[in-house]
Structure 1
Amino acid sequence: MRGPAAPGAAGRVGVVLNPTSGKGRGLKVREKVFDGLAADGFTVHDLSGTDLPGATARARTGLTLGLDALVVVGGDGMVHAGVNAVAGTGVPLGIVSAGSGNDIARDLGLPVHDVPASLAVIREGLAARRNRGRGPDGEGVRMLDAVAVSRPGGAVDHWYLAVLSCGIDAAVNARTNAMSWPPGGARYVRALLAELRTFRPFGYRVTMDGEVWESAGTLVAVANTRCFGGGMRIAPDAVPDDGLLEVVHAEGLTRGQLMSVFPKVYRGTHVSHPAVHVRRARSVLIEPLPALGTMPPMAFADGEPLAELPLQCDLHPRAIGVLARTLGA
């Protein structure tokens, strides 16, 4: 049986936990995470905040402590906060998945709702990195692409790891966040039905590596990973370390067509619909085009509200390191 390691022997980690994540699950696993990391010999710094912006700010400040890793506890929103803290810094991200959707953890093959398994990945990943001189991808850290978001011609405002969306799905996401019932995926379906009552196609101009798509549309999603919204495979062929984004955009659909296509997103078969198009690109500019439809909703990234259009999305290869299982594990 492995005994407790000497305090600080394994390194120094910051932990960011959102107490509201997963309806309180983040708070419930707090003791397990802190006790587990301490037992593994880490010096642990609590960088948690009372909300997502506060957690992100504290995480950024905590990087000045000389952390070996930043560990986020919660769902996709907490991963989003961690990405915005560590992007481009070289500090790897550890993920303890304890939220509601957990799409990012699942897409990366990480444990979900299993604190001991998540801590084992963090412990083994950092050990491999330390033993091999903070070695390259595959030695405890998987290097992933990340997406920088800005106003056209402006400085980077945000980063995201999974999916940015600004179509009917984003409008439904916003409505879902404002609802407290019913639980789980049924709340998303209820929000979708409510949005469909007044839905009219949005007007878009999307420029993808210089290629322009202008249309009345239903959906625009710029994906680095496959899933969002609790298991919807919006971009079934997306790979987070291939140097390319999957831009999924759909022409204007009627309400009836939307109801027909929506269930297919969970299987990823919506991409075979003739109104749905997928384009690979590294740089994507999304602009509203009022002449062709209504104003698109606020964009969401990694399930979190981001900003109104226009927005520029630029892929940065290998910008984020995520602690992963060691080779052969």
Structure 2
Amino acid sequence: MSRLVLVVNGAAGSGRARHAGRHVEDALVAAGHEVIDASGGTAPDGTPDETPHDARGRARAALDDTRADALVVVGGDGAVHLGVGLVAGTDVALGVVAHGSGDDVARALGLPRHDTAAAVARIDAGLRTGARRVDATLLDRADGGHEWAVGVVSCGLDAAVNARANAQRWPPGPARCLRALAGELRRFRPYGYRLTGLDEADRPTEVLHEGPATLVALAGTPWFGGGLHVAPGADLTDGLVDVLVAGPLTRRQVVAVFPRLYRGSHLGHPAVRVHRVAGVLVEPLPGPGTPAPPPAFADGEPVGPLPLRARVVPGALHVLA
């Protein structure tokens, strides 16, 4: 029997995760596991009645008090990000029941999406046969804090679109990203950056980019934004992060290139470059007519303003997959 801490993001997937959470606990108990539910409550409209900070603290306390074998999260990429932040770099495994609107990390890990029974079966099998080890990215924030990520860290127009999409309730799913992009393009100008590659010992190697750019994504997994194939070559087991730099692009060029993200064919555009490195330092480099980049996002969740240092830690995450 394994001891599991369960955290359900009741707002994920327009409330689907809240309903799935009830079945997840019953199924895991029926499979012979002990389950400690560390989920918060929900408001009358179905949204969580606690902040992400509260949810993280509740889950951490449960993990510390119970000496759990695994943390199981039910929700979307935000729930996965919370879970990665709690168990990366430890021996506690992560189980994912994907019921969000994007589920890009679950897609990258080959996990079931919107299929509770299949996801629970994967978790149960992983508990019995052993977890899979994958890479995670450790982020050093501008405020001196640290944060873990496993998917894509957005630092450019992609981050600005993420922020706007998070503030919108309509339309559901990936179409929200398109609406947010249209809103951001009204005022868009390429941002200024200096990107410096880092080796495995966190030493600078080369300047990857200096000057204006439109999109800067640090990809541990191939997808973000609900299925946008931003980094087709990204691999969670190679010890590297794919640093994608696009631009500078005009508004018209952004509109032309954006649809190609769904197929991954944007990599053939002459203004798109990919660098594979063990780590990267992303610094703002504003200038005349070139604004500072927006605050960064990781796995769809806010991280904060640049500069940001990202270092891949090979095998830092145990996943029940």
Percent identity (aligned):
52
Moved more, 173-182 or 157-166: 173-182
- The two structures have a TM-score, normalised by structure 1, of 0.89
Deviation at 1:313, TM superposition (A): 0.4
Does residue 1:206 correspond to 2:195, yes or no? yes
Tell me, which stretches of 5 or more residues in structure 2 are unaligned? Answer: 41-49, 199-204
Q: 2:261 aligns with which of 260, 265, 274?
A: 265
Does residue 1:55 correspond to 2:61, yes or no? no
Structure 1 residue identity aligned to 2:87: V
Distance 1:227 1:205 in 2: 24
> Which 4+ runs in 1 deviate beyond 4 A?
none
Counting matched residue pairs gives 303
Give the alignment of 1:198-237 within 5 angstroms: 198-209=187-198, 210-212=205-207, 213-237=209-233
SS of equivalent to 2:71: strand
Q: Deviations over 1:43-83 (max 9, x none)?
A: 11011233422222222222221111110000000000000
Structure 2 residue identity aligned to 1:150: D
Give the alignment of 1:82-231 within 5 angstroms: 82-129=83-130, 141-151=131-141, 157-209=146-198, 210-212=205-207, 213-231=209-227
Distance 2:141 2:15 in 1: 35
SS of equivalent to 2:195: strand
Identify the residue that residue 42 of structure 1 maps to in structure 2.
Answer: 33
Moved more, 49-58 or 173-182: 49-58
Residues 141, 303 of structure 2: 8 Å contact kept: no
Does residue 1:306 correspond to 2:295, yes or no? no
Deviation at 1:183, TM superposition (A): 2.4
SS of equivalent to 1:29: helix
Does residue 1:21 correspond to 2:16, yes or no? no
Distance 2:301 2:37 in 1: 23
Structure 1 residue identity aligned to 2:83: G
SS of equivalent to 2:89: coil
Distance 1:62 1:191 in 2: 37
Deviation at 1:180, TM superposition (A): 1.7
- The two structures have a TM-score, normalised by structure 2, of 0.92
Structure 1 residue identity aligned to 2:134: L
Deviation at 1:236, TM superposition (A): 0.6
Q: Deviations over 1:76-102 (max 9, x none)?
A: 000000000001111000001111100
Residues 156 and 321 of structure 1: CA distance in aligned 2, closer, same or farther (over 3 Å):
farther
Does residue 1:275 correspond to 2:275, yes or no? no
Deviation at 1:156, TM superposition (A): 5.2
Residues 52, 77 of structure 1: 8 Å contact kept: no
Residues 190, 212 of structure 2: 8 Å contact kept: yes
Tell me, which stretches of 5 or more residues in structure 1 are unaligned? Answer: 1-9, 130-140, 325-329
SS of equivalent to 1:216: strand
Distance 1:317 1:55 in 2: 27
Q: Deviations over 1:183-232 (max 9, x none)?
A: 22222111111111111110000101221110111011111000000000
Deviation at 1:277, TM superposition (A): 0.5
SS of equivalent to 1:314: strand
Identify the residue that residue 294 of structure 2 maps to in structure 1.
Answer: 297
Distance 2:282 2:196 in 1: 7
